[in-house]
Amino acid sequence: MAEPKTTRKKTTRRTTKKNDGPVMLKSFNPRTGKVIREIPAHSPAEVADVVANARKVAPEWAAIPVEGRVRMMRQVRHNIYRLQDRLVDVISAETGKTPFESLSLDVMGSLIMFYSFEKIAPKALRPKRFGPFDAPFLPKALVGLNSRVEYRPFGVVGCITPWNYPLWNTFAASVPALFAGNAIVIKPSEVTPGVGEMLKEIFEPLPSGVVSVVQGGGDIGAALVDAPCDKISFIGSPTTGRKICAAAAEHLTPVVMELGGVDSAIVLDDADLDYVTSGTLWSAFFNCGQTCSSLERIYVSDKIADEFRDAFAAKLAQVNQGDEIGSLTFKPQLSLVERQVNDALDKGASLLGGGPGAGKDNKDGSLWFAPTALENVSEDMDVVRNESFGPLVTISRFSDDDDAVHRANGEAVNLTASVWSGDKKRAEYVGSRLRAGVVSINNHGVNAGAAWAPWGGVGESGFGRLNGEEGLREFTVPTHVARSMMGQVKQPFWYPYDEPSETMIRGVNKLLGSPDLGERFKGFFEIAQNMSKALKNKL
Ligand code: NAD
């Protein structure tokens, strides 16, 4: 795909409608304020057609054994690798993130994901069998069923994704669904349509129609939900998540919701100061803080708080805005970050680094905001209670471990949370008390990239799981295939409900329910004595 020439326009409007033509999505470079390209959006009617076509193709994809799907997905992985330099250019241009982060977080993260699922999928999707002597032996023998669970795909999964990792997050929402045998329709963010266009090229090795991309804004996302699909996989804000849940409820479509959080870290007094300041600094500011699992609240033990703040501030001052921290991607995000910082400063917070007016300016319509750390913050400040999704972190002190846990689990919801300590046991104990979808020890934020383990939130940070075995099975209907253990021998609880049948059932209930060993023996004999009489009379 050739890069179109840039035009010099200071605008952040994302869509325009040409006379009777399609709505055009504007792709905008937030580092420079320039429009990069315009891409036509789909219409809601076209979305319905795309879903109908995916529905036709879905059974063929589902019929390919998982090993065959894995082989084709491997070709997609190699395609991502082949396209990596162009991907880095397009991702960086549309999001403002550094090429290093496009290469590591988006491209490497995607390769890790494909590679991991290729290894996990054959085992995770293999039917689960209950052997005759596996627990629970007694009920199985009495009911007379041989059971297995098949992980069958839903059919068509609609994947609606955000702009912060336009490649990696799009895959996070959709790739487990594909491995699981579903056809997918992706609605990428209207903020990054150029990356959305590249998806078609990436998925070329798959049979036509297994992956479709529909471009557009919220209305096109809504049309996808309403098509309806058989499952919706959503990554985005809690506000949109609520709307999608309500719309999906009309069709009783199941949903996976990966939403945002105000993630916290607890720094215990025995943490290594150099390690923890480097780790928390990166976790707060990578991808310019536009990561659902970005560290937004740091709670530091009183005992090391002064040393921590000095070391953190010194390192923060060394991070290069431009080469290491990119611009924000989306204009409303800049306004939110500015509002939160001003609210906090008005209410008595102080700046440890960054702040409005620091760093690069935005005179050309670009979206720079310097990485900013606030201290002396309180629970009434918007920045402590609500997600910033920008280069903003707060640092507070705590008196003891209970206080730290209480504050980290406060009103603000964690998607992920972390504990930093030199003592593994103590860190594990504190971590066990944190309410979050993922808990990390001496690390934060990268866990979404750990595609081999489940990823997801709690409460308002979301439900359902992506990644890992759980993520693959999220996109399957666990179907119990039950075969009569005795071939075509009739069952004692079929018609007629005669006396030997009832006595036999009473025997079963004694055997399963009675606390008394003698009574259980009695039950066993009642079953043995009445079985053939009960079966003889069956209709
Ligand atoms: P958003 O909710 O504004 O948009 C996400 C997607 O939903 C976009 O493609 C958008 O077009 C679409 N959409 C909007 N309205 C819709 C509607 N009514 N019906 C269907 N689709 C609709 O989110 P965003 O600004 O793109 O992304 C930022 C948010 O995403 C943050 O809250 C962040 O925490 C969250 N996020 C979560 C994860 C995670 O894994 N939990 C990962 C990345 C981002």
Nearest to 173 by CA among 264, 124, 241: 241
pLDDT value of position 489 = 87
CB of 190 closer than 6 angstroms to any ligand 1 atom:
yes
* C-alpha angle 362-365-368 in degrees, rounded to nearest 5: 40
- State both tokens at 103: 């290469």
Residue-wise pLDDT tens digits, 226-237: 999 999 999 999
Q: How much distance in Å is there from the Cα of 516 to the middle of ligand 1? A: 58
pLDDT value of position 14 = 53
pLDDT value of position 12 = 40
| Ranges under pLDDT 70 in the chain | 1-20
Query: What's 46-259+470-478's CATH class?
Result: alpha beta
CB of 237 closer than 6 angstroms to any ligand 1 atom:
yes
CB of 465 closer than 6 angstroms to any ligand 1 atom:
no
Which residues make Cβ contacts (< 8 Å) with residue 418, sequence separation at least 6? 263, 264, 265, 266, 283, 295, 431, 439, 440, 441, 442, 443, 444
CB of 153 closer than 6 angstroms to any ligand 1 atom:
no
Q: How much distance in Å is there from the Cα of 236 to the middle of ligand 1? A: 2
For residue 2, what are the β-bridge partners? none
d(CA 376, CA 516): 65
d(CA 7, CA 9): 6
Q: CATH: 3.20.20.70, 3.40.50.10330, 3.40.309.10, 3.40.50.150. Which one for 263-450? A: 3.40.309.10
- State both tokens at 187: 């609605």
Mutation pick for ligand 1 pocket among 220, 253, 292, 463 (CB with most ligand atoms within 8 Å): 292
Cα torsion angle, 404, 405, 407, 413, sign: positive
Predicted structure pTM score: 0.93
Strands 183-187 and 211-213: parallel
Residue-wise pLDDT tens digits, 418-466: 999 999 999 999 999 999 999 999 999 888 899 999 999 999 999 999 9
d(CA 283, CA 291): 9
**Cis upstream peptide for 59 (omega within 30°):** no
Q: How much distance in Å is there from the Cα of 186 to the middle of ligand 1? A: 13
Which residues make Cβ contacts (< 8 Å) with residue 367, sequence separation at least 6? 30, 31, 96, 327, 328, 329, 330, 331, 333, 334
pLDDT value of position 15 = 58
Q: How much distance in Å is there from the Cα of 478 to the middle of ligand 1? A: 28
From atom 30 of ligand 1, which residue's Cα is the shortest distance away?
236
Measured from the Cα of 415, ligand 1's closest atom is: 41
Nearest to 434 by CA among 393, 401, 392: 401
pLDDT value of position 10 = 38
pLDDT value of position 5 = 36
Nearest to 419 by CA among 307, 270, 287: 270
Measured from the Cα of 188, ligand 1's closest atom is: 9
Q: Name the residue type at position 179.
A: F
H-only helix segments in 455-496: 468-474
d(CA 256, CA 159): 10
Cα dihedral 185, 189, 194, 196, rounded to 10, equals -20
d(CA 134, CA 128): 12
From atom 22 of ligand 1, which residue's Cα is the shortest distance away?
218
CB of 462 closer than 6 angstroms to any ligand 1 atom:
yes
pLDDT value of position 19 = 59
Mutation pick for ligand 1 pocket among 15, 110, 160 (CB with most ligand atoms within 8 Å): 160
pLDDT value of position 11 = 38
CB of 214 closer than 6 angstroms to any ligand 1 atom:
no
CA distances from 16 to 32, 38, 90 (A): 20, 9, 21
CB of 469 closer than 6 angstroms to any ligand 1 atom:
no
Domain residue ranges in the chain: 46-259+470-478, 263-450, 490-536
